[in-house]
């Protein structure tokens, strides 16, 4: 027999009240459990954040301690290396060290100084002085020049890494090989010129013939952005000193020397470094020429390999500090 509507309605209400009683009974424990879980989660999150901050502080503290220790060590090393290079001889004029002649000892100290502090100081004058000391041996001189070429490679590496990201019509780096006439003495000053019929660099390299009678047109060089055009002459190349005279003229858009731009002239030596020996042009472009390799086979071949480098646009050598000058402020006229 079917239940009456009144009985069904009463059963529904009873079920509802039963469910409400159950929810009311369990609400407090559920809320307590939820609050506990949220509290534990927040507490763990805060602890993890505190641990992460503590780890960062510890790492920064360790870095600061390491940098401080390295600074102290390098300062002490610098004093130990520079002191003997600057001290005077004793009254007898003899070196007090006794383990090796003065010239060779100073070459060793200059070599260590160059390898450890080439980013911070312009060491070219000191190295040239040690190179030309009376009594300097060819072995010590060759070792000192080899160290300088290592430093050139180190300093060129970051610039070449940046410059090789994009290829343009005009390369930002190319090599120049100077091939000497071996029939002439190594002490003879030679001029270098392109062989006849060869007027442009190919595949990033260029070969010039050098002799006392060489005569040719300057090398045309254009900056990667096309803003600067140069005419580069290489002359007075000497293989005994490993030096080359560089003479540069800036060209106007018509390809003739700019009468308002003074010539750029310098002597390339084994101790010319990218971070200290470079030329900044008014356009903001910067270039340099560096000696990277020397091959000397008696009576067979004498070759000096140079690197012509256009610096990356935003590259500033570590020894330079950018100037932040506000040139837009009007200057009051004089009364």
pLDDT in tens, 172-200: 888 999 999 888 998 899 999 888 766 55
Please report whether residue 276 resides in a domain. Answer: yes
Tell me whether strands 205-211 and 173-180 are parallel, antiparallel or unpaired. parallel
Q: What is the pLDDT of residue 200?
A: 55
CA dist 249 and 8 (Å) reads 109
* pLDDT (average), residues 136-161: 90
Least confident of 25-39, 86-100, 101-115, 243-257: 86-100
Please report whether residue 70 resides in a domain. Answer: no
φ, ψ for residue 303 (rounded to 5)? -135, 130
Residue 259: CATH number of its domain? 2.60.98
Reported as a pLDDT band with limits 50, 70 and 90, residue 81 is: low
Residue 326 has pLDDT above 50, yes or no: no
CA dist 163 and 176 (Å) reads 18
268 lies in which domain range?
172-310
- Residues 24-72: pLDDT tens digits? 776 777 777 777 887 777 888 888 888 888 888 888 877 777 767 666 6
Please report whether residue 326 resides in a domain. Answer: no
Q: What is the pLDDT of residue 234?
A: 93
Question: What percentage of the chain carries pLDDT values higher than 70?
Answer: 76
Q: What is the pLDDT of residue 92?
A: 41
Secondary structure letter of residue 257 according to DSSP = B
- Exposure string of 169-198, with b = 16+ CB inside 10 Å and e = fewer, is eebbbbbbbbbbebebeeebebbbbbeeee
**Collapsed DSSP state (helix, strand, coil) of residue 74:** helix
Residue 22 has pLDDT above 80, yes or no: no
- Residues 242-291: pLDDT tens digits? 999 999 999 988 888 888 899 999 999 999 999 989 999 999 899 999 99
* pLDDT (average), residues 135-158: 92
Least confident of 90-99, 148-157, 233-242: 90-99
Q: What is the pLDDT of residue 296?
A: 87
Question: What percentage of the chain carries pLDDT values higher than 90?
Answer: 31
Please report whether residue 196 resides in a domain. Answer: yes
Number of H helices, E strands in the chain: 4, 10
* pLDDT (average), residues 110-137: 89
In the chain, what is the greatest distance between 2 CA atoms, to the nearest angstrom?
A: 137
Please report whether residue 112 resides in a domain. Answer: no
Please report whether residue 114 resides in a domain. Answer: no
Reported as a pLDDT band with limits 50, 70 and 90, residue 89 is: low
- Residues 213-239: pLDDT tens digits? 888 788 899 999 889 999 999 999 999
Reported as a pLDDT band with limits 50, 70 and 90, residue 3 is: low
Least confident of 165-169, 288-292, 312-316, 328-332: 328-332
Indicate the number of domains in the chain: 1
Reported as a pLDDT band with limits 50, 70 and 90, residue 169 is: low
Residue 325 has pLDDT above 60, yes or no: no
Q: What is the pLDDT of residue 105?
A: 87
Neighbours of 141 (CB within 10 A): 19
Q: What is the pLDDT of residue 152?
A: 94
Reported as a pLDDT band with limits 50, 70 and 90, residue 304 is: very high
**Cα–Cα separations (whole angstroms), residue 113 to 102, 108, 124, 148, 319:** 16, 9, 12, 11, 16
Please report whether residue 30 resides in a domain. Answer: no
Q: What is the pLDDT of residue 150?
A: 93
Please report whether residue 289 resides in a domain. Answer: yes
């Amino acid at each position: 027999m079917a239940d009456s509507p009144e009985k069904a309605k009463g059963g529904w209400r009873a079920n509802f009240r039963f469910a409400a009683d159950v929810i009311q009974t369990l609400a407090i424990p559920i809320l307590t459990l939820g609050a506990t879980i949220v509290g534990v989660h927040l507490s763990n999150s805060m602890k993890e954040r505190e641990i992460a901050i503590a780890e960062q502080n510890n790492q920064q503290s360790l870095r600061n301690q390491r940098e401080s220790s390295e600074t102290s060590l390098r300062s002490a090393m610098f004093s130990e290396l520079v002191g003997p290079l600057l001290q005077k001889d004793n009254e007898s004029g003899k070196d007090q060290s006794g383990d090796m002649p003065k010239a060779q000892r100073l070459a060793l100290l200059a070599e260590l100084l160059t390898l450890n502090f080439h980013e911070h100081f312009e060491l070219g004058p000191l190295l040239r002085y040690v190179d030309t000391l009376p009594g300097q041996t060819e072995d010590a001189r060759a070792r000192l020049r080899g160290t300088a070429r290592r430093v050139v490679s180190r300093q060129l590496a970051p610039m070449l890494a940046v410059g090789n990201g994009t290829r343009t019509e005009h390369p930002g780096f190319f090599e120049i090989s100077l091939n000497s006439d071996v029939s002439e003495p190594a002490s003879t000053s030679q001029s270098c010129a392109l062989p006849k019929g060869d007027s442009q660099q190919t595949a990033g390299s260029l070969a010039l013939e050098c002799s006392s009678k060489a005569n040719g047109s300057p090398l045309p060089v254009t900056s990667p952005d096309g803003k600067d055009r140069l005419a580069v002459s290489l002359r007075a190349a000497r293989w005994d000193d490993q030096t080359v005279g560089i003479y540069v003229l800036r060209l106007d858009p018509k390809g003739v020397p700019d009468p308002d731009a003074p010539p750029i002239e310098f002597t390339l030596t084994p101790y010319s470094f990218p971070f200290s020996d470079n030329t900044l042009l008014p356009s903001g472009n910067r270039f340099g020429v560096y000696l990277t390799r020397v091959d000397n086979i008696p009576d067979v071949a004498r070759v000096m390999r140079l690197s012509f480098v256009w610096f990356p646009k935003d590259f500033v050598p570590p020894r330079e500090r950018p100037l932040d000058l506000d040139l837009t402020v009007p200057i009051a006229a004089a009364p």
